[in-house]
């Protein structure tokens, strides 16, 4: 049983990396099998609904992994502006480590396949919702007004900055955006500046 789960996990993680780097359409099942060194029959054994199921589960896995890393980064922050900067640092570091090949683990698949596949759209939505819920909760705990709307702004801004950084091959835009958004969010902390 453990062996089956190891193969499934290996296929899923390989697929997640390929989808993140190359997108949904450019990633073939034979490539996933070859790079994961999994037996040919294992794909449909573990993912009977094929590529669509594999992609939805890969997005859920990689989105969950990033969500945990974001939570860990934010928990080390002294306040909202620093938390946003730390998220930006995390994303910038990952992008640089991949030599600008891997952006957001959800965005590439979402842009290509979410409009045509309900399971993939749902997995992308769940990943983003998880990140937004965690960030909203953090902002509320730090008395940020309009926490939900600002969490949307933070995530949207970071997604755009990540795309620009990938295209420019320069993470400076991520750091610039997180500084500006952090200052904006800090300005909404209730009671700040009074007394």
Q: Which domain holds residue 110?
A: 52-186
Question: Any idea what the CATH number is for the domain that residue 156 is in?
Answer: 1.10.357.10
10 in a domain, yes or no? no
What's the rounded mean pLDDT across residues 63-70? 95
Looking at the chain, which runs of residues are DSSP E strands? none
147 in a domain, yes or no? yes
Percent of the chain with pLDDT over 90: 87
- Strand pairing partners for 142? none
What's the rounded mean pLDDT across residues 150-161? 97
88 in a domain, yes or no? yes
Quote the pTM value.
0.89
pLDDT at 193 > cutoff 90: no
182 in a domain, yes or no? yes
For residue 40, the model assigns a pLDDT of 86
Rg from Cα positions in the chain: 18
Q: What single DSSP character describes residue 52?
A: H
| Domains of the chain: total | 1
Binned at pLDDT 50, 70 and 90, residue 190 comes out as confident
142 in a domain, yes or no? yes
pLDDT at 131 > cutoff 80: yes
For residue 194, the model assigns a pLDDT of 42
79 in a domain, yes or no? yes
pLDDT at 2 > cutoff 50: no
170 in a domain, yes or no? yes
Closest by alpha carbon to 16, among 55, 70, 65?
A: 55
* Predicted confidence (pLDDT) per residue in 11-35, tens digit: 999 999 999 999 999 999 999 999 9
| Ramachandran quadrant class, 189 (left: phi over 0; alpha: psi -120 to 50; beta: rest) | beta
Collect all residues with Cβ–Cβ distance below 8 Å to 10 and sequence separation of at least 6: 36, 37, 38
């Amino acid at each position: 049983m453990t062996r089956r789960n190891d193969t499934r996990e290996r296929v899923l993680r390989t697929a997640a990396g390929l989808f993140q780097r190359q997108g949904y359409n450019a990633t073939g099942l034979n490539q996933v099998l070859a790079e994961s060194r999994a037996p040919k029959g294992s794909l449909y054994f573990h993912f009977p609904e094929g590529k669509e199921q594999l992609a939805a589960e890969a997005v859920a896995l990689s989105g969950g992994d990033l969500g945990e890393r974001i939570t860990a980064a934010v928990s080390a922050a002294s306040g909202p502006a620093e938390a946003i900067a730390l998220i930006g640092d995390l994303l910038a570091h990952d992008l640089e480590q991949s030599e600008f090949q891997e952006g957001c683990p959800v965005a590439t698949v979402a842009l290509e396949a979410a409009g045509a596949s309900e399971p993939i759209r749902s997995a992308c939505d769940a990943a983003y919702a998880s990140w937004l819920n965690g960030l909203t909760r953090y902002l509320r705990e730090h008395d940020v007004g309009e926490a939900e709307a600002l969490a949307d702004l933070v995530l949207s801004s970071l997604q755009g900055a990540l795309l620009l950084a990938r295209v420019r091959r320069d993470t400076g835009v991520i750091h610039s955006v997180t500084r500006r958004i952090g200052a904006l969010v800090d300005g909404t902390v209730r009671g700040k500046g009074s007394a």
